[in-house]
Structures are given as C-alpha cells and as structure tokens.
Structure 1
C-alpha cells in the first residue's frame, strides 16, 4: 500500500508539473508576442538613422563583416536567411531580420539555440548587450540570452548571460565559422 501511495503522489506531482509547464508555456507565448511587437517598434523608430542592407547575399556578408568589425566570432549567429540588417552606429544598435525563426545546434558545446525572426542588440567591441530574439536551451527550458561577451584574455572564452543572472562560458572556437 505504501508503494501505491507513493505512485499516486508521484503521478499527482507529475500532473501538477505538467499543468505548470502548460501555464508557463501560455504566458511565455504571450510574452513572446509582446516582445516581438516591442522589438518591431524599436526597429521602426531607429530606421531613419540606420544603415540598412537588404537581400540575403548582401545581408549575410554584412552580418559577418559587422561581427568581425566588433571582434565577435562570425559563427555566433549562424543565420542563413537574413533579409534585412540595420546598424545605427551612433547608438551601437543592430538588428537582423530573417525570413523565419531558426533553431541551431552547436555541436562543440552540445547546446540548442533558437534565433527569432527579428534579433536586436547593442553592439560594442567584444560585446553584444540587451540582446533580444536569442534563446538557449538549458536542461528542459528555453532561456533568453541577454548578453554575449568575448573574453579578452588568453582563455579564449565567450560568456553568455541571461536576464535571470545565469551565465555560461564556452570556448570561442565553438563559434568560429
């Protein structure tokens, strides 16, 4: 009977977890829609001061050029369907628009990363901050990446930070294309 009680408790616990995951998924989707709307508004407000590039081939080249210009590895954003890139150099603001969201698995670090259709960041040498549109899978959860910092020392690491304060470091070599 004790085994049956423990099984019942376990199944009730699992049911409660499933409900929480479902509810958090709904609120996550709502937050994502709101974030996407706000990102589009920010991009629209920056347009008149921006250098804007369109077309997949030109945007692909420009994205890699800008990342290298700021000493950020080109493979950090493995995007192959970029249709627009905008740069407001006076603000250090950059945006990339893709045809659709892209999921990518970085084999060297065993991590899945999701790139939204619109990605924004404030860029400076060796650093991207206030990043939107990039999420990394940590255990079973997708967590938004808010900052990427390339270490200037001999360690050759790049540090990723989330809005919640979690950070992870990985070798830069995992992001070189």
Structure 2
C-alpha cells in the first residue's frame, strides 16, 4: 500500500512534471544514492516528487506499464513510491516482477560489494530475493540491448 501523496507532502517536495524531466531527475537521484540509472526503464511519467528530508520519492505514470528485462517481466502501477538512502530503495510500492510464472511485489532494492563485482538485490515482501550483477543495470536499458551474455541469477528465500 503506497503512501498518500497529499498537498502538504507536495509542499515539502521537489516536484517535476513531464516525462523527460522526470526521467532525468530520477536518474540523477539514483546516481546520487549510488544506484544504477538502468533501474529506471519506465516512460510516460507525469509527475516525480522527492522529499529530501525523509528520502520519500514518488512517480506518477499515465497508465500501468510492463517492461521486460531478459526473462523477468516487471509491472509498474500508476503510482510508485519508496524511501531512498545510500545504496538502497526501501518500502517500495507499485512494482511487481514475474519470473517462472510467479508474480512477487518488490519491497526493497540494494547494492552490495565493491564497485567491480557488485550485485544488486531485489527483495520481496514474501521472503524471496533476486541478485543480479550491477553491471546489468548500468548505462540504461539501451546500453544493455543486443548483449548476448547471460548473467547467473540467484533466487533464494530470505532468512
């Protein structure tokens, strides 16, 4: 369940409107907190907001959107919310992923490891996680298209 975006919250936020501006600003925010810009694969963003004091961020989309990363299907709701901090997105709402015919709601994304050989881990509310090489998400989606190399994936139950 996402946090309600109120006028009071908007008054505290940096607000941006329009797809191009929102994607640019969100990509800058990802870089600022140490996450790759390739995490943002969605388009048609109407509004982006960021409350720096709390780390709360939201994206409002024109409509639900699905995107495919290799054999993983990612579904974005019309509103995506989260709290950001260095190397981590937590309390994520509005994003689901499907692999092996199972839909899971993502709740956290974080990066671990030295700059080379780092992994990015996606966690769900039900205790599943998926770790992928960080390099897969660097340089945006366009940089990844056409690559034939397949990455090893680890899906595990969180403890």
TM-score in same-fold range (> 0.5) = yes
1:125 deviates by 1.0
Paired with 2:44 and 2:133, the residues of 1 have a C-alpha distance of: 26
Q: Which residue of 1 aligns with 2:32?
A: 69
Q: Which residue of 2 aligns with 1:6?
A: none
Q: Which residue of 1 aligns with 2:143?
A: none
The structure where strand makes up a greater share of residues is 2
Gaps of 5+ in 1: 1-34
Matched, 1:159 2:88: no
Gaps of 5+ in 2: 141-159
Paired with 1:95 and 1:152, the residues of 2 have a C-alpha distance of: 27
1:77 deviates by 2.1
1:141 deviates by 2.0
CA contact (8 A) 2:83 2:91 kept: yes
1:124 deviates by 0.7
Residue by residue over 1:117-161, the C-alpha shift from the partner in whole angstroms, topping out at 9 and shown as x without a partner, is 110010011100000011010322211000000113343110111
The structure where helix makes up a greater share of residues is 1
Matched, 1:116 2:77: yes
Alignment of 1:125-140 (within 5 A): 125-140=86-101
CA contact (8 A) 1:106 1:174 kept: no
Normalising to structure 1: TM-score of the pair? 0.73
Pairwise CA RMSD of aligned residues? 1.3
Paired with 1:86 and 1:131, the residues of 2 have a C-alpha distance of: 14
Normalising to structure 2: TM-score of the pair? 0.81
The structure, 1 or 2, with the larger RCO (C-alpha pairs under 8 Å, 6+ apart) is: 2
Aligned length: 137
Q: Which runs of 4+ in 1 moved over 2 A?
A: 152-155
